[in-house]
């Protein structure tokens, strides 16, 4: 503003004072100054002031035309912040007076409280927007790839006694043991039992008991466990109905069996090299067999294989399913 043009200076100063004298515009300017280096969007001002965006936009237009604020575009959004005080001599002092006078104003304090929440949320949104493409990698680097599954295991009832039928090397038993009272690892193969014993010893678990036995002759008393798990073992069993009755026998009323196995497939490799007796199961048929063995049917779900084809063999990996059958007519999952 030219110093020699006194009339122009007076007129412009009066215009600035009149514009700032509006209660809404004063509140807008105070919020912008409080935001510091964080320009504000129309929607953020609207939320902080609890006013319609149309009202805020109208006042922003007036402030822009008076050179009291400036706007810049960021993507599809327009951001607003106070203009440099150098463009209007005396404006800095006027802002300072406004801050001092309005410092304890209840309405302005409420505006600032809402604005601080908005800016905190924006910071979180900006962080997640920046890290979203690499979020899994970042989280895995800090906490590993399985911590969420370990957390879900903690939801198990610590008073439960569980049985892993066809436990193999007891990898599942070792995962379960810290979260329940006791785990029976039932396995017919001596070689597997030796491997399981080594794993249990090295893990330090003291509540896992190894038992030599098959699904068709489970070496446990009647109604001795709350939960029995048969993970990728049913396809090795010759007499399915008898095995399911054995599972029903050892489970307490209110308990359940969890069966994890293959859906129907035509992969001869499993039969020829892995000793599978059954080429998968149709869940609906297995459901009927569970009911015939005395289980109530609760729920089943397909779990697609992560690897669709084994690169070294070219064999397509079959999908698996998980099925729960209750010892009594308990509520479904």
Architecture of domain 144-326: 3-Layer(aba) Sandwich (3.40)
pLDDT surpassing 50 at residue 332? no
pLDDT surpassing 80 at residue 206? yes
Cα Rg, the chain, nearest whole Å:
35
Model's pTM, two decimal places? 0.64
- What are the phi and psi torsion angles at 128 (to 5°)? -70, -35
CATH topology agreement for domains 6-137 and 144-326? no
Position of tokens 């699904």?
215
Over residues 255-311, the pLDDT tens digits come to 999 999 999 998 888 888 888 999 999 999 999 999 999 998 778 999 876 667 777
What's the confidence (pLDDT) of residue 96? 77
Over residues 60-103, the pLDDT tens digits come to 999 888 888 888 887 777 888 887 655 666 677 777 787 777 77
What's the confidence (pLDDT) of residue 236? 94
Percentage of the chain with pLDDT > 90?
Answer: 47
Over residues 156-173, the pLDDT tens digits come to 999 999 999 999 999 999
Q: Which of the pair, 54 or 139, is modelled with greater confidence?
A: 54
C-alpha 245/C-alpha 260 separation (Å) is 17
Q: Which of the pair, 156 or 150, is modelled with greater confidence?
A: 156
The predicted model gives 3-15 an average pLDDT of 66
Point out which residues pair with 164 in neighbouring strands: 185, 229
The predicted model gives 103-117 an average pLDDT of 86
C-alpha 163/C-alpha 186 separation (Å) is 7
C-alpha 164/C-alpha 183 separation (Å) is 7
Taken as a whole, the chain contains a residue count of: 333
What's the confidence (pLDDT) of residue 89? 65
6-137: CATH number: 1.10.10.10
Question: Where exactly are the structural domains of the chain?
Answer: 6-137, 144-326
What's the confidence (pLDDT) of residue 296? 86
């Amino acid at each position: 503003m030219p110093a020699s043009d006194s009339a122009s200076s007076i007129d412009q100063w009066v215009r600035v004072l009149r514009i700032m004298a509006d209660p809404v515009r004063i509140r807008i300017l105070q919020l912008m100054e409080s935001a510091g280096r964080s320009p504000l969007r129309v929607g953020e001002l609207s939320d902080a002031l609890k006013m319609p965006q149309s009202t805020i936009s109208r006042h922003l237009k007036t402030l822009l035309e008076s050179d009291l604020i400036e706007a810049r575009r960021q993507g599809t959004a327009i951001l607003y912040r106070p203009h440099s005080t150098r463009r209007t001599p005396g404006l800095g002092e006027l802002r300072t007076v406004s801050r001092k006078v309005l410092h304890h104003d209840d309405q302005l304090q409420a505006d600032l409280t809402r604005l601080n929440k908005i800016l905190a949320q924006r910071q979180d949104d900006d962080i997640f927007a920046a890290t979203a493409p690499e979020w899994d990698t970042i989280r895995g680097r800090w906490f590993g790839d399985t911590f969420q599954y370990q957390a879900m295991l903690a939801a198990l009832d610590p008073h439960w006694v569980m049985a892993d039928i066809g436990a193999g090397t007891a990898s599942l038993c070792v995962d379960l043991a810290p979260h329940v009272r006791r785990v029976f690892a039932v396995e017919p193969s001596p070689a597997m039992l030796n491997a399981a014993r080594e794993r249990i010893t090295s893990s330090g678990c003291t509540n896992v008991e190894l038992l030599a036995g098959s699904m068709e002759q489970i070496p446990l008393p009647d109604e001795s466990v709350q939960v029995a798990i048969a993970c990728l073992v049913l396809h090795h069993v010759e007499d399915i109905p008898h095995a399911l009755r054995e599972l029903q026998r050892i489970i307490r009323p209110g308990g359940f069996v969890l069966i994890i196995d293959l859906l129907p497939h035509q992969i001869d490799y499993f039969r020829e090299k892995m000793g599978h007796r059954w080429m998968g199961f149709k869940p609906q048929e297995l459901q009927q067999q569970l009911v015939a063995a005395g289980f109530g049917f609760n729920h089943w779900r397909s779990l697609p294989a992560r690897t669709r084809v084994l690169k070294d063999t070219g064999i397509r990996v079959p999908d698996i399913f998980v099925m729960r059958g209750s010892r009594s007519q308990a509520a479904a999952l």
